[in-house]
Amino acid sequence: MPAKILVVDDEPDMLKLLSMIIKEKTQHKIVTTNNPLEALELIKQGGIDLIIADLKMPGLDGSELLDAVKAFDENMPVVIMTAFATEEASAETIEKGGFDFIIKPFRKEQILSTIDKALKWTAMQKENRELKAKLKSSEV
């Protein structure tokens, strides 16, 4: 089943590139925005399965967006990407609950693999929560 992926980056060329890669190589739907505040509104509307966001953006950076997303939905997978990679930024992303940290420029196969892993992980987490709920209800 196709997922809905939200890509947030202040660079229009990066939005076009990721859109092209995802549309060309997957059945997933893609929504893009260069405005992290608009991204939050889209997330709150529901239906987003995965978020890919740039780390350095004006107004609200990727780290702050990650915090806001996790406060809204702790199970939402968020992939942070940046051209300004540091070990601290990578570690902070993972500590905050980010799914992965990708360094720009990335290979097409790398982003596609990360998308696949994130969506499989999300499906597994959902199945796990459902099984736990069934077990809990059968114990009563």
Peptide bond into 36 cis (omega under 30): no
Instruction: Assess whether pLDDT exceeds 80 at residue 140.
Output: no
- Using one digit for the tens of pLDDT, what is the confidence trace for 79-88? 999 998 788 9
- Would you put residue 47 in left (φ > 0), alpha (ψ -120 to 50) or beta? left
* H helix and E strand count, the chain: 5, 5
Q: pLDDT (tens digit, 9 = 90+) per residue, 124-135?
A: 999 999 999 999
* Domain CATH code at residue 86: 3.40.50.2300
Structural domain of 103: 4-139
Task: Give the count of domains, the chain.
Answer: 1
